[in-house]
Amino acid sequence: MTIEFVPVETPEDRAALATLASEIWHEYWPALIGEAQTDYMAEQFQSLEAIERDVAEHAYEYWFLRTAEDGRTVGYTGGRVEPETNRFFISKIYLRAEERGHGFASQTIRFYEDLCRARGLAAMYLTVNKHNDLGVRAYRGKGFETIDSVETDIGQGFIMDDFIMEKRIGA
């Protein structure tokens, strides 16, 4: 199946995105980081307020991932250009549980490669939880390299324990 990248543009789109984000986060993350941290992070980084703040204050762009064949929403993605580093920060690539393993993440990485080339960016990067073995392996398989390891205090006693992975973009 082929996915289309549908821009999140309207207030209704952003509300639908926040609902989708909450569904995906509460399905996937409790097994890795626990229910309490999942709830906290979903509220801090995936809620309607967080999405609107990211768009307004940090120039984030978001897209729904929809199948071209039947218009089914399989996930979402988003991030922002960092002019100071000439890179695109991929903040989010999230798929519904039943949609994983169908090549949608690979199509999303290709989307970002094309976007980086079109915008003249040298690289794209992301953070991935060190214990998310599936994600780490998938990104390595797509040409990302680990360039750093960070522990970020996000408040309420919670820590994000991540690798920073980068993929350089050729001309």
Q: What is the pLDDT of residues 26-63, one digit of tens each?
A: 887 767 778 888 788 778 888 899 999 999 999 999 99
| In contact, 98 and 113? CB cutoff 8 Å | no
Angle 11-28/48-58 helices, nearest 10 degrees? 120
At 141, the pLDDT band (50, 70, 90 cuts) reads very high
| In contact, 88 and 121? CB cutoff 8 Å | yes
Distance (Å, whole) CA 113 – CA 46? 24
Q: What is the pLDDT of residue 27?
A: 82
Q: The domain 3-168: what is its CATH number?
A: 3.40.630.30
- How deeply is 30 buried, as exposed, middle or buried, from its count of CB atoms within 10 A (0-12, 13-18, 19+)? middle
Global pTM reads 0.91
Q: What is the pLDDT of residue 30?
A: 67
Q: What is the pLDDT of residue 32?
A: 73
